[in-house]
């Protein structure tokens, strides 16, 4: 943490004074931000927190006036003493990048796929003048090195698709730093990343603050990230700041009721979780899923070597059991889930699903089992057909498997399913885009249980949701699992979420199963160094404990290297 006294000595580099933002819609004006006042000083990290729709991203984007034409701004936003709300287009272009820079939530959409990353970093430098092509390239290489991209002299000529998710986010941060702005606005910079990469990005943002003296405004719904990085916190709810306090004070003694609810909704790492439920699962019954030496290989293109995504994995899922499968991006979690659902072919070992051997299986032999397997996808926005209503989407499995003749005939059953997932039956007439992220994920859960499956595969179903919505979806998942008694493979990179749901946990690392055991064993006494690092990487909503965990992580990484 920065020394608070140093923060107070500098004049604020960004001041938001009584900001209001109103959007014109077909149904009338919508007040997204109502009289927000904030400031941030050099070398200080201010966190804006709140659930989806609270106005935190709109507030942050208003600081650079990155707003659609339908938005009307009121009040004032001062960047380096200039009011962004009232300046002309030419002056605004001058301020963007130099006075304030933005790091967007999704680096894949922030980067242009047809230009190299070096060209994109240099573009900002050259747009603000006075830099030759050669100097801009040298500076791009320097910033890529400073944000931790290995071999920057070569990587500067690579395209965005040649970088991993975490590396792409580093490139976006390098691009934001290139003009040495007074304030960096980071909009959910770690939401789409797994915990080990998230810890690296937070470390990088901390270095940006210390080395460049930049002020940082970070927008997030992850209270662990706030505890890890922030000096001060502003909590937003329905367009207003309901509480603002230093980070230690906010976590120790929150004043606003909403802040208390937000902190209570954060999933916490409990080593004891799952122990009580363990007794109910018989170990002597035949598993629904049994993998022995499972291997999955993707063929290489144009003569390249094949890529082995899964290397000799052994695991079992018994009736009524929830197995949590954890690991970082690219560890093979989703590949195993898709193989169990018959969506990806296996290339070696043995995988028995509901009595069918999946090595070399024929679709007509497996088809009868498809109704016994439900699948909850990571992003419900892309797994629903946008042209169908929610009722038609949820009824689809019933129609495909001949339970009903058409979606209209299934309407009563669909209404029951929606009410099981705590959605009003009337939501069936809405289209997917008319539901919030949490509501879409609940509708996705309703679709997956429509045929009362024996096995449910949930692939990161809560990773894109804010904490309060995530808590409701997880409670719902547990209730449904206990009521319907299905077995489940729960895939996630969040150990706190897995700990809250699972009976057993399996940890994957680069295609290998490195550790497996009951929830209490894996979270309470991890044996493998990778599991220990994964646990230490998980930010916890307590600034003092988080500082201790960061020290532990550094020690583990030093020991590993």
| Same structural domain, 403 and 476 | yes
Confidence check: pLDDT of 189 > 90: no
pTM, entire model: 0.76
Per-residue pLDDT tens over the stretch 26-85: 778 888 899 999 999 999 999 999 887 788 888 988 999 988 888 899 999 999 888 989
Confidence check: pLDDT of 271 > 60: no
Residue 163, pLDDT score:
84
Indicate whether 215 belongs to any domain: yes
| Same structural domain, 204 and 114 | no
Q: Determine phi and psi for 295, rounding to 5 degrees.
A: -130, 135
Q: According to DSSP H, which parts of 38-194 are helical?
A: 56-62, 89-98, 107-110, 117-127, 133-146, 152-155, 165-177
Indicate whether 257 belongs to any domain: yes
What is d(CA 433, CA 385) in angstroms, rounded to the nearest whole number?
Answer: 10
Whether 183 contacts 217, CB under 8 Å: yes
DSSP assigned state of 280: T
Beta strands at 504-509 and 512-518: parallel, antiparallel or unpaired? antiparallel
Residue 204, pLDDT score:
86
Whether 209 contacts 216, CB under 8 Å: yes
| Same structural domain, 425 and 513 | yes
Which residue range forms the structural domain that includes residue 79? 1-99+196-265
Confidence check: pLDDT of 273 > 60: no
For 291-335, give the DSSP string: EEEEEEEEPPSTTPPPEEEEEEEEEEE-TT-EEEEE--TTSSHHH
Arithmetic mean of pLDDT over the chain:
86
| Same structural domain, 64 and 128 | no
Indicate whether 354 belongs to any domain: no
Indicate whether 557 belongs to any domain: no
| Same structural domain, 30 and 163 | no
When pLDDT is cut at 50, 70 and 90, the band that residue 373 belongs to is very high
Beta-carbon-side half-sphere exposure of residue 259 (alpha carbons within 13 Å): 23
DSSP assigned state of 12: P
Which of 110, 130, 129 minimizes the C-alpha distance to 120?
Answer: 110
What is d(CA 372, CA 344) in angstroms, rounded to the nearest whole number?
Answer: 17
Whether 330 contacts 354, CB under 8 Å: no
Indicate whether 543 belongs to any domain: no
Per-residue pLDDT tens over the stretch 292-349: 999 999 887 777 788 888 999 999 999 999 999 998 877 888 899 999 999 889 999 9
Residue 277, pLDDT score:
53
Residue 560, pLDDT score:
66
Residue 296, pLDDT score:
92
| Same structural domain, 530 and 481 | yes
| Same structural domain, 161 and 212 | no
| Same structural domain, 497 and 440 | yes
| Same structural domain, 75 and 17 | yes
User: In a 3-state reduction of DSSP, which class is residue 79?
Assistant: strand
What is d(CA 96, CA 83) in angstroms, rounded to the nearest whole number?
Answer: 13
Per-residue pLDDT tens over the stretch 489-536: 999 887 888 888 899 999 999 889 999 999 888 888 899 998 888 888
What is d(CA 411, CA 390) in angstroms, rounded to the nearest whole number?
Answer: 11
Residue 279, pLDDT score:
47
| Same structural domain, 10 and 89 | yes
Indicate whether 223 belongs to any domain: yes
Which of 439, 561, 523 minimizes the C-alpha distance to 268?
Answer: 523
Indicate whether 355 belongs to any domain: no
Q: What is the CATH number of the domain that holds 229?
A: 3.40.50.300
| Same structural domain, 240 and 370 | no
- Of residues 171 and 546, more confidence is placed in 171
- Of residues 416 and 129, more confidence is placed in 416
| Same structural domain, 394 and 522 | yes
Indicate whether 551 belongs to any domain: no
- Number of domains within the chain: 3
Task: Determine the longest span between alpha carbons in the chain, in angstroms.
Answer: 74
Residue 26, pLDDT score:
74
Residue 314, pLDDT score:
94
């Amino acid at each position: 943490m920065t020394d608070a006294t140093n923060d107070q000595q500098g004049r604020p580099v960004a001041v938001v004074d009584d900001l209001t933002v109103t959007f014109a819609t077909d149904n009338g004006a919508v007040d997204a931000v109502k009289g927000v006042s904030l400031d941030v000083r050099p070398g200080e990290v201010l966190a804006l927190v709140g659930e989806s729709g609270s106005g935190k991203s709109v507030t942050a984007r208003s600081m650079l006036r990155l707003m659609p034409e339908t938005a009307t701004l009121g009040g004032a936003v001062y960047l380096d003493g200039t009011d962004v709300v009232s300046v002309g287009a030419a002056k605004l272009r001058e301020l963007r990048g130099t006075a304030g820079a933005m790091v967007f939530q999704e680096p894949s959409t922030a980067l242009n796929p047809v230009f190299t990353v070096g060209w994109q970093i240099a573009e900002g430098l050259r747009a603000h003048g006075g830099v030759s092509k050669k100097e801009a390239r040298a500076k791009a290489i320097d910033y890529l090195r400073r944000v931790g991209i290995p071999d920057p002299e070569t990587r500067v000529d690579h395209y965005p698709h040649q970088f991993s998710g975490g590396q792409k986010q580093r490139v976006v941060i390098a691009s934001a730093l290139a003009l040495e702005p007074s304030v960096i606005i980071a909009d959910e910079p770690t939401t789409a990343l797994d915990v080990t990469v998230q810890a690296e990005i937070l470390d990088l943002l901390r270095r940006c603050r210390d080395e460049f003296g930049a002020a940082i405004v970070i927008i997030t719904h992850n209270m662990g990230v706030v505890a890890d990085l922030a000096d001060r916190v502003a909590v937003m709810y329905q367009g207003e700041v309901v509480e603002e306090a230093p980070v230690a004070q906010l976590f120790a003694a929150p004043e606003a009721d909403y802040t208390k609810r937000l902190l209570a909704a954060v999933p916490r790492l409990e080593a004891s979780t799952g122990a009580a439920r363990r007794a109910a699962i018989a170990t002597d019954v035949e598993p629904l899923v049994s993998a022995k030496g499972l291997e999955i290989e993707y063929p290489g293109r144009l003569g390249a070597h094949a890529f082995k995504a899964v290397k000799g994995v052994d695991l079992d899922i018994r009736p009524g059991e929830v197995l949590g499968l954890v690991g970082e991006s690219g560890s093979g979690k989703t590949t195993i889930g898709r193989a169990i659902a018959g969506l990806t072919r296996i290339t070696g070992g043995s995988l028995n699903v509901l009595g069918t051997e999946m090595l070399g299986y024929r679709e007509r032999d497996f088809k009868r089992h498809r109704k016994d397997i439900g699948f909850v996808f990571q992003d419900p926005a892309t797994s629903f057909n946008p042209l169908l209503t929610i009722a038609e989407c949820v009824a689809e499995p019933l129609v495909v498997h001949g339970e009903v003749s058409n979606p209209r005939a299934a309407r009563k059953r669909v209404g029951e399913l929606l009410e099981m997932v705590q959605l009003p039956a009337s939501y069936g007439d809405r289209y997917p885009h008319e539901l919030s992220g949490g509501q879409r994920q609940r509708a996705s859960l309703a679709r997956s249980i429509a045929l009362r499956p024996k096995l449910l595969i949930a692939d990161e179903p809560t990773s894109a949701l804010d904490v309060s919505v995530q808590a409701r979806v997880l409670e719902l998942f547990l209730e449904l699992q206990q009521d319907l008694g299905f077995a489940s493979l729960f895939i996630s990179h969040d150990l706190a979420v897995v700990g809250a749901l699972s009976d057993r946990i399996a940890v994957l690392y680069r295609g290998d199963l490195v550790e497996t055991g009951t929830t209490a064993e894996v979270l309470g006494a991890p044996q493998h160094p990778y599991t220990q690092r994964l646990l230490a990487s998980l930010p916890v909503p307590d600034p003092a404990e988080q500082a201790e965990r960061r020290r532990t992580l550094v020690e583990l990484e030093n020991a590993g290297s």
